[in-house]
Structure 1
Amino acid sequence: MAQSSGAENNDSYTVVIFRGSTAKPLRFSFPRKFVRKLLIVCAIFLVADILVISHYVIRTGEVWELSAFKTEAMSAREQTVAFSTAIDDLKKRLGSMKEVNQRLRVMLGIDAPKTGDLVNGRGGEETPLPEGSAVPPGKTITTDVSMAMGSAEGMLASGQQRQPSAMGMTDLSEEELVLEVKAGLKWLSKEAALEEQSLNELSVAAEQKSSRWAATPSIWPVKGWVTSGFGPRVSPFTEKPAWHDGLDIGAAANAPVHAPAQGRVTTVGFDSKLGNVVKLDHGFGIETLYGHMAKSLVKEGQRVKRGDVVGLVGSSGLATGPHLHYMVKVNGQAYDPTKYILD
């Protein structure tokens, strides 16, 4: 038990400890000044402890926050490097696409194939000069080094830009990485716009070529044997020389006659010489005619595709037997139909 007395005098504090009913109590006296100083020191230590603990908590939070920022910065750097690598890969793929596009442009007739340098074209078998021989006046020997230098200068003069590479990205600073990525994005944007324009041109050209191919006769209209070719012949009716403007194909009566390309039926009728006639307009100035048929199976204005049946083989009109008179005209002029048969 502890008790604080009023003290023996006004300048001290006395603490009495009772140890039992028979034991003599213990007395401790402390000067007031000492107690005050002790309380002041304890208060200072308490405040100091509170400040130290608060500072520790704050610093610990800052360290954790700094560690989180560092982790985030490392992650952002890794993502930037990965993004730059992906940009570099896209550049390579875009380069391959440009090569394919260039080949397609040549194939579709948009760009003419490169013929090389017509002025400086050189070649042929060479043998070493004999010892002591001099180069003829006005001639110079170009070394590989000078040619390489000239090639490099030519590349610089032509304005070719160095494409940023992902190699060595880990050695660059953050600002340099960002600049590399920005340069890569700018290059990709420019090249993508050019490729988009090129692809649009290729699409239009391919569509035109496809339409032209679909409209160009390319198959036999009927299976059989050629009884009279295109060009001069002896007329089977007058036995005199005459010009035959088509192809006579002998076949069994009522054999199907197929359209050799897509087109539109412009004529279905009867001619005193050609008998039952069907005429197709394939576009691009190409027309085909089918004569001496037993029956036509299409109507004027009807659209047909390659392989569609337009009629049946017969011997109507001026004919010696069942056959098909097949004619091909381009811009109003008759051409040999065999030039338009691929199978």
Structure 2
Amino acid sequence: MRQHMEQSDAYTVVIFRGSTAKPLRFSFPRKFVRKLLILLAVLVFADLLVISHYVIRTGEVWELSAFRAEAMSAREQTAAFSAAVDDLKRRLTTMKEVNQRLRVMLGIESVKPGDLLNGRGGEDTPLPEGKDIGFEQSSVPSRRSLDDFQVSGRAERLQVQENAADTRTQLEQEALAQRVKEQLAWLAKEATRQEQALQELTAAAEQRSSRWAATPSIWPVRGWVTSGFGPRISPFTEKPAWHDGLDIGAAPNAPVQAPAQGRVTAIGFDPKLGNLVRIDHGYGIETLYGHLAKPMVREGQRVKRGDVVGLVGSSGLATGPHLHYMVKVNGQAIDPMRYILE
């Protein structure tokens, strides 16, 4: 009876090995089987949890890796942009030095020691390369099942490493972006200043160019000086007299050229100077050409350096064909030789 009851509380497994061999019997108590099934169910559930946790952590690690790669690419692009900004900064500094030299050459500013050699600007913020970024571990994970600890622990370590690298990259990216922002602000201000300086240089250069173009600088006619500027013995009265111009002997009808650009203000005849042409060059400079055989311009006409304004003659009071060349500055006659550079 007792044996029958024990058999009813157990599970029996019979294995038949053949028609003649004695079968094998294995009996397992029901309580043991129930406990074994519960244990297996717990293990399967734990494995499912570990696998799902690992899959989630692995996905996060892949996302962090992709974000890190994207951040590194952005960092490289920002670094390249920063290098380009540095190059522009160097060029702008060089242009600033050239502008300063031109301002000195054009007489806009006087030379200041150190201004031309040591001009620098901007503030450089170094990247936090090699800077330690600490992460405090507030707690140590508790001991769990062996598989769960190994898989989950490895994923967490990878995540902590990725987070640390990502944080460091993010800080470096922010520092680099701040540096580029400061350099761009400096470039904007410096470009504005240099634009104003270039405008001043352009205006000064144009003014000096116009002044140079309006300044007599060449012989009005090719020939020989027969009478200079200043005191002389008059060829008509043979007495001391003042000669307010330059007499240049030349062949009849030789072309007389304007020594600078200007505007013809008068064409006429004078009893002493004969046929004459007067040109106003601006800046208080005026030239006069006398004893012409024939004027070749009209009143109000604008001429350039080298334009023919008349032909050499002997009209008026003259002993022979020549040009009477006069230069006046602010209404006062000046020695024309001071305005002949060739």
Q: TM-score, normalised by structure 1?
A: 0.70
Per-residue CA distance 1:148-176 (angstroms, 9 max, x = gap): xxxxxxxxxxxx99744487675574233
Deviations 1:98-150 (A, max 9, x none): 21111111111111234x6xxxxxxxxxxxxxxxxxxxxxxxxxxxxxxxxxx
Residue 49 of structure 1: how far off its partner (Å): 8.5
Which runs of structure 2 are paired with 1:226-305 in the superposition (5 Å)?
226-305=225-304
Cα deviation, 1:17-47, whole Å, max 9, x if unaligned, reads: xxxxxxxxxxxxxxxxxxxx99999999999
CA distance 1:194–1:169, shift in 2 (3 Å): farther
Cα–Cα, structure 1 residues 52 and 168, in superposed 2: closer, same or farther, change >3 Å? closer
Matched, 1:89 2:121: no
Structure 2: how far apart are the matches of 1:327 and 1:171? Answer: 79
Question: 1:224 maps to which residue?
Answer: 223
Cα shift at 1:82: 2.5
> 1:110 and 1:101 mapped to 2: Cα distance?
11
CA distance in 2, matches of 1:92, 1:102: 15
Q: Which shows bigger deviation, 240-249 or 170-179?
A: 170-179
Is residue 2:101 matched to residue 1:106? no
Deviation of 1:288 (Å): 0.5
Structure having greater relative contact order (Cα 8 Å, sep ≥ 6): 2
State the TM-score, normalizing by the size of structure 2: 0.70
* Structure 2: gaps of 5 or more residues: 1-34, 114-118, 132-170
Cα distance in 1, alignment partners of residues 129 and 78 from structure 2: 10
Identify the residue that residue 321 of structure 2 maps to in structure 1: 322
User: Corresponding residue for 2:78?
Assistant: 80
Structure 1 residue identity aligned to 2:105 = M
What residue is the counterpart of 1:69 in the other structure?
67
CA–CA distance in structure 1, aligned partners of residues 60 and 319 of structure 2: 108
User: Percent identity over the alignment?
Assistant: 74
Q: Tell me what 1:188 maps to.
A: 187
SS of the counterpart of 1:180?
A: helix
In the TM superposition, residue 54 of structure 1 has moved relative to its aligned partner by 6.4
Distance 2:274 2:205 in 1: 39
Partner amino acid for 2:75? R
RMSD across aligned positions (CA) = 3.9
- Aligned counterpart, 1:153: none
Which position in structure 2 is the counterpart of 1:24? Answer: none
| Aligned amino acid, residue 68 of structure 1 | A
- Deviation per CA, 1:286-324, whole angstroms, max 9, x where unpaired? 110111111111001111111111111111111111111
The residue type paired with residue 327 of structure 1 is M
Kindly state the Cα deviation for residue 84 of structure 1 after the two structures are TM-superposed. Answer: 2.6
- The alignment partner of 1:290 has SS state of strand
The structure that is helix-richer by fraction is 2
Other structure's SS at 2:326 match: strand
